[in-house]
C-alpha cells in the first residue's frame, strides 16, 4: 500500500502525541495537533476530518504498514500507547517498503556516475549500508561519522521547510558566551554542516548582515507566517563559503594568503588530504614542505593549525603567525606552572 507524504506526517504527529504521557489525548486533541502540523509544514488551512484521524489510528494499530501500534483507549475517550516505550519510528520496515528502498538505492547507484551526483557518493553508500543492515540484520560494513547525542538534529527538517517556504522564524538562541538566551526574528537562508555539527545561515531582522547560528545552541523557534520575509540577494553561497575553512565568516571578510611549513612526518598527510581546495605546494625538501592556502582568517583555521602542534609553523601572514605564537606560549605556561608546583611540593 502506497503511503503518501501527508499520511506519514499525520502518523508521525499522532505518534508524537501518544508518546507524550504527561497529558491525556482525546480524538479532538489529536485532530487539532494534526491540523496544526499540516498547516505548519504544508500550509494546509482546511484542517483534517474526524474520519481521517480515526482511519489513521486503525491503520497504525494494524499490520498494513507494519506498525502494529499498541494503541489503547481509556475512559472511552483518551488515547495512549499501552507500551510507554513504543513508537512507530522504532517499528521494523515492511517488505514492500524495503523493496522500494532497494530499488531507489539501485537507481541512485546507476546515476552516481554522472557529474550531478558526484557529491552523493557517500550518501548513497550510507543508504545502501543501512538498507542491507535492516534487511539482513547484518553487521556494519561501512561506518560514517555520527554523534547520536548531538543536540539540534531534530531542528533540521523544520528549518529546511522554513527555508523552502521562505518563512521568517522567531528563534530563542543562546551562544556559548551569553549568560542567557535571547529572542530575535531571523530570515533563514541555508543549512550547512561542518564536522558533524549543523548551522543555520540567516539574517537577523535588526541587522543587514548574515549570521551563523549553531543548531545545538537553539533553545526553540517558531515560524512566523504573517511576518514579511526578506530575500537574500548576496553572493551565491557556494562562492560565499568557498574561501574559508569551517563556517565562521562575515560578509566583510576576504581571503588572505596563508603560508604554512610542515615537517617531513606530516608532509604526506597534508599533501594527500589538503587543508583547503586552494592549497598550493610552494616548496619541498628533506625537512618537509611549504604550502599556501587562500582563506579567511577565522577560529576554525586557528584550530586546524593548532591541531598540528609543533609540526607546523606559520610563515604568513604576520598577524596570524603572532596570534598562533601567543596561544602556544599560553598553553606552554600552563604545563610549566604545573611542573613548578610539583617541585615545590
Q: Which of 38, 21, 129, 134 is nearest to 85 (CA)?
A: 21
Place 251 in a pLDDT band, splitting at 50, 70 and 90. Answer: confident
Residue 291 phi, psi (nearest 5): -125, 165
- Model confidence over 146-159: pLDDT tens digits? 665 667 777 888 89
pLDDT of residue 1: 38
**What do you get for the CA distance between the two ends of the chain, in Å?**
75
Three cell numbers at 274? 589538503
Write a three-state SS string for the chain. CCCCHHHHHHHHHHHHHHHCCCCCECHHHHHHHHHHHHHHHHCCCCCCCHHHHHHHHHHHHCCCCCCCCCEEEECCCEEEECCCCCCHHHCCCCHHHHHHHHHHHHHHHHHCCCHHHHHHHHHHHHHHHHHHHHHHCCCCCCCCCCCCCCCCHHHHHHHHHHHHCCCCEEEEECCCCCCCCEEEEEEEEEEEEECCEEEEEEEECCCCCEEEEEHHHEEEEEECCCCCCCCCCCCCHHHHCCCCCCCCCCCCCCCEEEEEEEECCCHHHHHHCCCCCCCEEEEEECCEEEEEEEECCCHHHHHHHHHCHHHEEEEECHHHHHHHHHHHHHHHHHHHHHHHHHHHC
Q: Which of 47-51, 203-207, 220-224, 331-335 has the lowest mean pLDDT?
A: 331-335
Cα 336 from Cα 169, distance rounded (Å): 49
% the chain with pLDDT above 90: 54
Residues 6+ apart with CB under 8 A from 258: 292, 293, 294, 295, 297, 301, 314, 316, 317, 320
Does the pLDDT value for residue 97 go beyond 80? no
Taking a C-beta distance cutoff of 8 angstroms, is the pair 145, 163 a contact?
no
* Domain boundaries of the chain, sorted by first residue: 5-90, 95-136, 153-234, 256-334
Three cell numbers at 120? 552523493
Taking a C-beta distance cutoff of 8 angstroms, is the pair 214, 197 a contact?
yes
- Calculate the average pLDDT of the chain: 85
Q: Cell numbers 531534530 label which residue? A: 154
pLDDT of residue 2: 42
pLDDT of residue 126: 65
- CATH among 2.20.25, 3.30.450, 1.10.150, 1.10.10 for 5-90: 1.10.10
Q: Cell numbers 528563534 label which residue? A: 171
- Sign of the Cα pseudo-torsion (213, 217, 222, 227, in order): negative
Does the pLDDT value for residue 308 go beyond 90? yes
% the chain with pLDDT above 70: 80
Tell me what the mean pLDDT of segment 292-312 comes to: 95
Tell me what the mean pLDDT of segment 190-194 comes to: 89
Residue 269 phi, psi (nearest 5): -65, -45
Burial 303-331 (b: 16+ CB within 10 A, else e): ebbeebeebbbbbeeeebbeebeeeeeee
Q: Which of 22-31, 119-128, 176-185, 238-247 has the lowest mean pLDDT?
A: 119-128
- Sign of the Cα pseudo-torsion (115, 120, 121, 125, in order): negative
Does the pLDDT value for residue 269 go beyond 70? yes
Cα 92 from Cα 66, distance rounded (Å): 7
Tell me what the mean pLDDT of segment 19-30 comes to: 92
- Model confidence over 51-80: pLDDT tens digits? 999 999 999 998 887 788 999 999 999 999
Q: Which of 162, 193, 188, 181 is nearest to 219 (CA)?
A: 181
- CATH among 2.30.30, 3.40.50, 2.60.120, 1.10.3470 for 153-234: 2.30.30
pLDDT of residue 108: 66
Q: Which residue has the higher pLDDT, 154 or 212?
A: 212
pLDDT of residue 68: 87
Three cell numbers at 176? 556559548
Taking a C-beta distance cutoff of 8 angstroms, is the pair 167, 223 a contact?
yes
Amino acid at each position: 500500500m502506497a503511503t503518501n507524504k501527508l499520511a506519514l506526517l499525520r502518523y508521525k504527529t499522532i505518534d508524537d502525541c501518544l508518546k507524550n504521557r504527561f497529558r491525556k489525548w482525546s480524538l479532538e486533541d489529536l485532530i487539532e495537533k494534526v491540523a496544526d502540523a499540516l498547516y505548519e509544514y504544508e500550509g494546509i488551512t482546511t484542517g483534517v476530518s474526524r474520519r481521517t484521524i480515526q482511519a489513521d489510528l486503525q491503520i497504525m494499530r494494524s499490520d498494513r504498514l507494519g506498525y502494529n501500534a499498541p494503541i489503547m483507549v481509556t475512559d472511552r475517550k483518551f488515547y495512549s500507547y499501552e507500551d510507554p516505550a513504543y513508537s512507530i519510528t522504532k517499528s521494523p520496515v515492511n517488505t514492500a517498503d524495503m523493496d522500494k528502498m532497494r530499488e531507489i538505492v539501485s537507481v541512485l547507484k546507476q546515476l552516481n556516475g554522472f557529474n550531478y551526483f558526484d557529491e552523493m557518493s557517500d550518501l548513497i553508500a550510507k543508504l545502501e549500508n543501512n538498507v542491507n543492515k535492516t534487511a539482513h540484520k547484518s553487521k556494519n560494513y561501512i561506518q560514517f561519522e555520527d554523534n547520536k547525542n548531538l543536540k539540534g538534529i531534530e531542528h533540521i527538517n523544520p528549518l529546511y521547510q522554513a527555508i523552502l517556504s521562505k518563512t521568517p522564524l522567531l528563534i530563542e538562541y543562546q551562544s556559548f558566551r551569553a549568560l542567557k538566551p535571547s529572542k530575535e526574528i531571523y530570515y533563514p537562508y541555508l543549512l550547512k554542516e561542518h564536522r558533524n555539527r549543523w548551522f543555520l545561515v540567516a539574517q537577523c531582522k535588526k541587522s543587514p548582515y548574515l549570521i551563523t547560528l549553531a543548531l545545538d545552541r537553539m533553545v526553540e523557534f517558531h515560524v512566523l507566517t504573517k511576518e514579511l520575509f526578506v530575500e537574500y540577494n548576496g553572493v551565491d553561497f557556494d562562492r560565499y563559503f568557498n574561501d574559508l575553512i569551517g563556517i565562521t565568516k562575515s560578509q566583510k571578510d576576504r581571503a588572505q594568503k596563508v603560508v604554512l611549513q610542515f615537517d617531513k612526518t606530516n608532509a604526506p598527510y597534508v599533501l594527500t588530504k589538503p587543508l583547503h581546495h586552494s592549497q598550493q605546494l610552494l616548496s619541498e625538501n628533506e625537512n618537509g614542505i611549504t604550502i599556501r592556502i587562500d582563506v579567511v582568517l577565522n577560529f576554525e583555521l586557528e584550530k586546524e593549525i593548532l591541531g598540528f602542534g609543533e609540526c607546523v609553523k606559520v610563515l604568513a601572514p604576520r598577524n596570524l603567525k603572532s596570534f598562533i605564537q601567543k596561544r602556544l606560549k599560553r598553553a606552554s605556561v600552563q604545563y610549566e606552572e604545573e611542573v613548578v608546583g610539583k617541585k615545590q611540593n
